């Protein structure tokens, strides 16, 4: 969601804990990084 702002995936997960970031939180760093990149 915040990826459009040019922020790194890490910040996106923190800003949207209730969003898809929650799912990414359970996955490894590399995995959720790809999820946000998609």
pLDDT in tens, 1-38: 555 566 555 555 555 445 555 555 555 656 555 555 54
- Please tell me the total count of domains within the chain: 1
Residue 29's pLDDT is 59
Which among 22, 38, 3 is positioned nearest to 11, based on CA atoms? Answer: 3
For residue 7, CA distances in Å to 13, 16, 26, 36 come to 10, 12, 20, 11
Answer yes or no: are the C-beta atoms of 15 and 2 closer than 8 Å: yes
Residue 4's pLDDT is 58
Residue 6's pLDDT is 60
Residue 8's pLDDT is 56
Q: State pTM to two decimals.
A: 0.14
> Which domain range does residue 31 map to?
2-37
């Amino acid at each position: 969601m915040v990826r459009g702002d040019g922020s790194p995936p890490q910040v996106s997960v923190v800003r949207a804990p209730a969003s898809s970031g929650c799912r990414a939180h359970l996955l490894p760093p590399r995995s959720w990084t790809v999820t946000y990149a998609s």
